């Protein structure tokens, strides 16, 4: 898995750098403005990733708690059914 991630990283960095090289040679003013905006986009992306990770953790906790409740209810239902079968001798 690490090899795929490293390959993707190299690919994206090469695309990023070559895009700026082409941009600076073609229209350097627009490339300069883009270069000024990239850090803001990176910060916003980092904030988004952090927020998404927190929400995903909360969602996972809620799902785990719901699973525990379902398991408890299922076990209580089986216990009650067994008690009723024994009480009315339905074996």
| pLDDT score, position 40 | 94
The total of structural domains in the chain comes to: 1
Contact indicator for 31, 19 with CB cutoff of 8 Å: no
| pLDDT score, position 90 | 67
For the stretch 17-26, pLDDT in tens is 998 888 888 8
| pLDDT score, position 41 | 93
Contact indicator for 23, 30 with CB cutoff of 8 Å: yes
Which single residue is written with the structure tokens 């799902």? 63
Low-confidence ranges of the chain (pLDDT < 70): 1, 90-91
Range of the domain at 56: 2-87
| pLDDT score, position 73 | 83
4 SS3 class: helix
């Amino acid at each position: 898995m690490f090899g795929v991630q490293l390959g993707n990283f190299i690919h994206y960095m090469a695309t990023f750098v070559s895009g700026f090289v082409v941009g600076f040679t073609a229209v350097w003013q627009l490339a300069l403005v883009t270069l000024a905006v990239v850090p803001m986009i990176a910060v916003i992306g980092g904030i988004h990733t952090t927020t998404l990770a927190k929400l995903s953790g909360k969602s996972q906790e809620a799902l785990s708690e719901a699973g525990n409740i379902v398991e408890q209810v299922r076990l209580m239902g089986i216990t009650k059914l067994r008690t009723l079968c024994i009480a009315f001798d339905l074996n």
